[in-house]
Amino acid sequence: MNIKIEKLIKPHLLKMKVYEPVDPPEVLAQKSGIKKENILKLNGNENPYGGSEKAIKALENAPLHIYPDPLQRKIRNSLSKYTNMPTENIIAGAGSDELIDLIFRLFISYGDNIIDFEPTFAMYGFCARIAGASIINVPRDKNFEIDIKALENKINDNTKIIFVSSPNNPTGNICSKDQVLRLLQTGKLVVIDEAYYEFSGHTVAELVKEHENLIVLRTLSKWAGLAGLRIGYALANPILINHIIDIKSPYNVNIAAEVALLASLDDCDNLIKNVELIINERNRMFNILQKINNIKPFPSYGNYILCELDEGKAKIIVDQLANNGIFVRYFNTNRLKNFFRIAIGTPSQTDILIKYIEKFLNKL
């Protein structure tokens, strides 16, 4: 029987513009022909120092045969101490990516729209496309600041959510508290994605208590080096948190992620020392890049730096770096076609990267 199975798939999902994820090291090694141990993976904003040793040790005894707690009691207690927020204001997800998806499930019906301040993290647009929502793009200005006046003109009755990444991935700048307060006055749901909070030191989490239309997202992928385990969390009004609990899959955060989160938060001081190393390295790399001709780094509050090159050169440099086993992030969009983003690695990784960037720029 010839069923033509695609006829049964939701029509708007048949031709998806997909999210472009980063490849794992072994695939990068294969693509570049460089040994896996010699690859410089600076394309995923991952932590070059890895996870906490205490977390790695704790994983040895994780009770893998037992389902995790659906109400995440230990996780939420531990995050409550870390964030200084009551447990009822907290819910964890399999990465903040899962929480973004859950927010769409909770708020978005087919035909609704969301506000995206591009260029920004591609996940908001991706989830909107899956949900059948349209994306109202309010382009950032030349310094990548959000334009709230333009937003106020574009917003309409079908607008449900305003997404802001702060610091913004990939541009590195933050959204001020005043700007967030103006966004909250629209009465729409405002999601402030603070995935890089530990590197920026800026948060609007305290506003969650007074504003029921605010969700702050955080993750342990970056500062705590747990990207591979998928663990993030949301801070919001208990009403919203309970609705998220109602619709999430019961065991959404796995036992290994739970065990690693608890141990990581116990080992917070050591992890924050690594964050300080990364911040120092970010500042050092920024200063070096600033002195190189024909490349313009943008100041960053994250663990990455966005760089602008002359017309047509960014992709060439990105490809040349990749051929030598050095991977930075290129964005194939009109606005960012002359840019690439470098994740901050160790000092010796920076030195190698800079040597190659200078060499290739000189030859162009």
Residue ranges that bind ligand PLP, judged by CB under 6 A: 45, 95-97, 121, 165, 169, 193, 195, 219, 221, 227, 232
Shortest gap between Cβ of 137 and ligand PLP (angstroms)? 17
Residue that the structure tokens 């101490």 belong to: 81
Shortest gap between Cβ of 161 and ligand PLP (angstroms)? 14
CB-wise, 165 or 349, nearer to ligand PLP?
A: 165
Which residue number is nearest to ligand PLP in terms of Cβ? 95
Shortest gap between Cβ of 45 and ligand PLP (angstroms)? 5
Shortest gap between Cβ of 124 and ligand PLP (angstroms)? 9
Could you tell me which residues are beta bridge partners of residue 33? none
CB-wise, 219 or 324, nearer to ligand PLP?
A: 219
Shortest gap between Cβ of 320 and ligand PLP (angstroms)? 24
Asked whether 303 and 45 are in contact (CB, 8 A), the reply is: yes
CB-wise, 45 or 203, nearer to ligand PLP?
A: 45
CB-wise, 299 or 358, nearer to ligand PLP?
A: 299
Shortest gap between Cβ of 233 and ligand PLP (angstroms)? 9
CB-wise, 97 or 281, nearer to ligand PLP?
A: 97
Q: Which of 160, 166, 168, 174 is nearest to 127 (CA)?
A: 160
CB-wise, 68 or 95, nearer to ligand PLP?
A: 95
Local structure of 344: helix, strand or coil: coil
Q: Which of 354, 353, 280, 357 is nearest to 313 (CA)?
A: 357
CB-wise, 96 or 274, nearer to ligand PLP?
A: 96
CA distance 279 to 156: 40
Shortest gap between Cβ of 3 and ligand PLP (angstroms)? 35
Q: Which of 333, 322, 331 is nearest to 357 (CA)?
A: 322
CB-wise, 101 or 361, nearer to ligand PLP?
A: 101
Strands (DSSP E) found in 6-158: 40-42, 90-93, 113-116, 134-137
Shortest gap between Cβ of 169 and ligand PLP (angstroms)? 4
CB-wise, 96 or 350, nearer to ligand PLP?
A: 96
Strands (DSSP E) found in 149-200: 159-165, 189-193
Q: Cβ–Cβ contacts within 10 Å for residue 262, how many?
A: 18
Angstrom distances, CA of residue 241 to CA of 93, 245, 296 = 12, 6, 42
Terminal C-alpha separation, the chain? 58
The single-letter DSSP state of residue 292 is: S
CA distance 225 to 238: 28
Shortest gap between Cβ of 219 and ligand PLP (angstroms)? 3
Q: Give ∠ CA 264-268-272 in degrees, rounded to 5.
A: 120
CA distance 265 to 155: 39
CA distance 137 to 118: 6
